[in-house]
Amino acid sequence: MKKFLTLALAAVLAAGMMAGCGPAAPSNSSSAPADGSAASDAAPAPTGDTIKIGVLAPLTGSVSTYGTAVKNGLEMAKEEINAAGGILGKQVELLIEDEKGDVTEATNAYNKLLSQGIVALIGDVTSQPSNAVAQLAADPSDGTPMLTPTGTAANITLNGSNIFRTCFLDPFQGQIMATFASEKLGAKTAAIMYNSSSDYSQGLADSFKTTAEAKGMTVVSYEAYGDADTDFKSQLTNVVAANPDVLFLPDYYEKLALISAQARDAGFQGPMLGADGWDGVLAQLGDNTAVVDGCYFSNHYFVDDTDEKVATFVSNYEGKYNGEVPNAFAALGYDSLYIMKQAIEAAGSTDKAAITSALQAVSYSGVTGDMTFDENGDPIKKVAIIKLQDGAVTLDSKM
């Protein structure tokens, strides 16, 4: 089983020049190519030399691993699509901006992309910048179709009918992991530690707690910490004293590497559970991966899935990026560009309103699964439950 490596990746979406409508659109039910090439179902081309798609991602800063992974997935998809003739007969140009994981940087970068004539946006990557940009894109004076590959906070897509996401939501992950703890692990009690500075962490914690209690579990400890904290002795002392069956830790991999090691040192030996922010924790832990043995987290796909689309994507990605194993952020980035391609071709146009309407009707089969969008622009799809053991990941189940 491959080790679950964190990726230092690079790439992300381009921006397309405003173009006129083409004639009849192809079907909007499709999938990513299983052989690594793009389907050649292009409608007559719009005017302009390229289709410009904007991309926002943190390529530097504390969450750059996620941004680079998304960028790499996008760039691989772009190369495949362009090699197969592009979209509506035009080459895809990705206009990529590094927003450093910062809300102000993200909104400034988005305005820059608008000035460059993008027809759609893929991004942002993390939840707070995604929500800030979604508020701008949803303004009636704007209307740019926005697809975040990985922004999981529930409020992002509620900003407007032109806002979509490829990943599932934080509340859904919290529900799934509480259900998993109760039904698969037989847990009767749970402790929760969350980052009070993070909408992502807070949302997951709230959702897990609500579902756990609905399942008859008792939350025996509910502990908060700040984003700058590195010493969690106080919170973990309370957790260990409460003796929970499981400990839910919804945060990103850098913080999780610290907490998981300190939890074991404090005497907690039970399963620790988390969400997609755990993706990359093994690489962050280095030689200390034993501290997360027997832990589980929800994720968007499993790298060793035997599905042909997944296997082909992983093989092509490793070949392109010097043996790097694609994490879920890379897979979501890859799927996001193919989803946008499908929508633009279904619209037969680069008109923003037409693309938005086509996205609302998308039915897509890709690396991260089969999906459609609900009335809020959120995907309807399954979740992979990943188990960590002996420095490697395995697929426990899909829920």
Q: How far is CA 125 from CA 99, 158, 290, 372, in A?
A: 10, 17, 29, 20
DSSP helix, strand, coil percent of the chain (3-state; round to 5): 40, 20, 40
Residue 280 pLDDT: 87
Residue 83 pLDDT: 98
Asked whether the beta carbons of 73 and 16 are under 8 A apart, the reply is: no
Residue 29 pLDDT: 46
On the CB side of 237, how many CA atoms lie within 13 Å of its CA? 4
Q: Whole-angstrom Cα distance, residue 88 to residue 97?
A: 25
**Residue 352, by phi and psi: left (phi above 0), alpha (psi -120 to 50) or beta?**
alpha
Q: What pTM does this model have? A: 0.76
Residue 240 pLDDT: 98
Residue 48 pLDDT: 64
Beta strands in the chain, from DSSP E residues, in sequence order: 29-31, 50-57, 91-98, 120-122, 146-148, 163-165, 189-195, 218-225, 246-248, 272-274, 295-299, 363-366, 369-373, 379-380, 384-389, 392-398
Q: Whole-angstrom Cα distance, residue 156 to residue 143?
A: 15
Residue 33 pLDDT: 56
The pLDDT profile of the chain, 399 residues, written as one tens digit per residue, is 333 333 333 333 333 332 333 323 333 445 555 444 433 333 333 446 999 999 999 999 989 999 999 999 999 999 999 999 999 999 999 999 999 999 999 999 999 999 999 999 999 999 999 999 999 999 999 999 999 999 988 899 999 999 999 999 888 999 999 999 999 999 999 999 999 999 889 999 999 999 999 999 999 999 999 999 999 999 999 999 999 999 999 999 999 999 999 999 999 999 999 998 998 899 999 999 999 999 999 999 999 998 999 999 999 999 999 999 999 999 999 999 999 999 999 999 999 999 999 999 999 999 999 999 999 999 999 899 999 999 999 999 988
